A and B are shown apart, each in its own frame.
Chain A
Amino acid sequence: MEFLLDAVSQFLLAISSGFAILLDPGIWVTIAIGSLLGVVFGALPGIGTTLAYALILPFTFGLDITTTIVLLMCVSVGAQYGNSIPAILVGVPGTPAAALTVLDGFSLHKKGESGYALGIAFLSSISGQIVSILFFIAAIIPLAGLAYFFLQPELFALYLFGLVAIVSLTGNNVVKGLLAVGFGILLAIIGLDPVNFSPRFTLDIPFLRNGIEPAILVIGLLAVSELFRQTRQHFQWNSGTTQRFDMTFPRWRKIRPTIPAMLGGTVVGTLVGAVPGAGATPAAMIAYQQARVTSKNPELFGRGAPDGIAANEASQNASNSGELIPTLGLGIPGSGSMVLLLAALTLNGFVPGPNLVSEAPQLFYAVVAGLLGGSIFLLFTGWFIARALMKLLTVNRSTVIILSLATVIMGVYSLNYRVLDVVICFAAGAVGYFMLRYGYSVPAAALAVVLATGLEGSLRRGLSIFDDDLSQFFGRPITIIVIALALTFFAIGVRRTITFNRRTAAELRAAEAAHADGVASSTGEPPGGDGPPSATTASDQSIENGDQK
């Protein structure tokens, strides 16, 4: 009973402390900037939360940690809402998570019900975000209470679990994932070692003696690599948003039937978002399927179902809160954006791990304030922002990519006023590009960069405390449980790799058989008919030309 009362009082304390931060009028400027930037970055196809974080992060190093966290949280909230705008109006998802919003949202837009689709997306995003904050607080409090059970062996097991989980759940090849982790740790251990303080792999270069700033490497691996990848493609899409369309906010009687789907999406989004390596896209996929299964009109899904938009959008925003649970509660970030958040915290002197919230509760309260503030700001302004951003949908994506690269250069240079930092960031980006293209998990490498010091330090210091006795170090109950979990996740990763190989081989055989049948029964008509060449055709043609490098 006492435990329950304590938990309730901590729950209320978290909410009241979050609101206390919001009482500062100055923080609302940060909230407004963060939310607006978030919506803009979300609405620009190809940007998304991770790239938005990477673009903004270098500019936050002069700010205090509360302002930084509030800003980043508002960017997340805004981005998950903003990505629905091009999905509905142009049929191009702002981020992969909004891909299913295209199916129903764009269908409604084509039927002349743009306002209905945008209104459902707007309300679902905001309500999903606000409700999931409560789940987030409820999950963090017990995790923070466990922090005192975590000594060096448990910390080591937790760091190991984080790395294994992200290797197993991202990418299709677990061996390449392990290589990515090894590479990330190797980059992070350049400089002085955390116990002896003797230099390692510095090649007698004075610059390397203090190691490479993790934030620089992480921005290179996660953001620059993705921007390089996008430069491969030729973007010509025209939005067609110059045409007039209905932007009337839907009436309550049309919104009410979608509430169960919103709530379902919120729960699914929070739970799936909390799984390391999952994130908004799988959350949206699962929530969409769940909404279809429970819907009274499943046949409408894919052809303009408001329930589909509601579940999808609510789950995306709820996954923001879900991703924060392992990040703040255990120090294990589950996505690229969360790795960048931890990199920002590390730069400010905070050590990622389960003690983060208990030792620095102000971080927790700042997160609550940021999520709440962003949601409240968008609740009152989001609809008008969506209307104002129509012009943004006509921005050429090629320009966005090049100017984003230029902004990364400016941001990273501004950190220490060193061109060498930018060179290292872009070198990490070039390696990350190769890793992205050939199936080496880039998030795993980035996470390894952030967790490496903690991983090595906890192992070496822990063994020293336990007189170098491995059985004492690894024999502690929580350590055994967490390592067993890590091994289970590793087994899942191996199974995923085998399944991927078998499935692609089977699909390839089927595709080749279908192609052979098509050739045999060909009547002389080209496969694409008389229409313009499809994108697939264009892509295939580039393969034949040897362009896919």
Chain B
Amino acid sequence: MISKTMDRRYDLVGSLAFFALGIAVLVGVATYPPPEVVFDAIGPMGLPFVLGVLILVASGFVSIRTIIAIRRDGIMAVAEGTEDELEHPSVGWRAPAIMVGSFVYLLTLEPVGFLIMTPLAIFGALRAMYYRTWRAQAIVAVAFTIVAFVVFGMVLRVPLPHGLLDSLLFSLGLVTF
């Protein structure tokens, strides 16, 4: 059965973000120093100008349409995008939390190191996904990290960030570069 699953307020925030992007592009075009030599009539800022206008007009249209729809029909609407799979319950906070967690992991990967951050990140993500018991979560996290370290770091010789364990790994002879 059809149901209203899309929150128009988030849709509006997205279209306004695109609107701001359109303005930023047009500002970038306007402030771009013209090149000394131009090989064609359009020039390097021709396409960005068209894109800026396209994004501005299209996002303006979507924003106005969404505002009108919110006032007329309320906040919730039938989804225009990919809906959740109905046979599995959805948890709204989890995707943004996993995203934030991923960025925290990536930003700390170099200073702290792959061997410390990866099991922590996978353990945390599996906990957020309610995967079985904490022991199973820890085993999967550690197993993946070890396999990835052996395959990438030792066999394929990919220089994984060592971070805090740098001198220890060298002294143990596990890495040579």
Contacts and interface: CB of A to CB of B under 8 A. Distances in A.
A193 B144 CA distance: 42
Q: Chain A interface secondary structure, helix, strand, loop or mixed?
A: helix
Contacts of B2: 504, 507-508, 511
Contact of B41 (A403, A437, A468, A538): A468
Contact of B21 (A183, A228, A507): A183
Given A178-B54, A232-B92, A535 B98 contact: no
B57 to A, nearest CB: 9
Contacts of B6: 437-438, 548
Nearest to B151: A410
B126 interface: yes
Interface stretch (A30-38, A136-144, A428-436): A428-436
B99 A402 contact: no
Q: How large is the interface on A (under 10, 10 to 19, 20 to 34, 35 or more residues)?
A: 35 or more
Nearest to A92: B87
Contacts of A410: 148, 152, 158
Contacts of B4: 508, 543
Contacts of A175: 58, 61-62
Contacts of B39: 195-196, 460, 464
Interface in A163-178: 171-173, 175-176, 178
Contact of A398 (B79, B126, B159, B161): B126
Given A201-B28, A433-B95, A539-B84, A548 B7 contact: yes
A234 interface: yes
Interface residues of B, number: 82
B122 A232 contact: no
Given A182-B51, A182-B58, A426-B102, A542 B89 contact: yes
A508 B42 contact: no
Contacts of A460: 39-40, 42, 46
B42 A231 contact: no
A17 interface: no
A201 B1 contact: no
B88 A406 contact: no
Interface string B70-99: 000000101111101111111111111011
B110 A419 contact: yes
A60 interface: no
B142 to A, nearest CB: 13
Given A172-B80, A229-B95, A232-B92, A438 B14 contact: yes
Contact of B55 (A173, A179, A535): A179
B89 A539 contact: yes
A195 B7 CA distance: 43
A173 B59 CA distance: 12
Interface pairs A-B: 8 shortest CB-CB: A439-B80, A547-B92, A398-B129, A538-B89, A439-B81, A193-B44, A468-B41, A535-B87
29 contacts: A173-B80, A186-B51, A200-B45, A200-B48, A228-B95, A233-B89, A398-B129, A399-B129, A403-B144, A405-B125, A410-B148, A410-B158, A414-B156, A426-B102, A430-B99, A434-B10, A438-B6, A438-B10, A438-B11, A439-B80, A440-B14, A460-B42, A535-B88, A536-B86, A538-B89, A539-B84, A548-B6, A548-B92, A549-B7
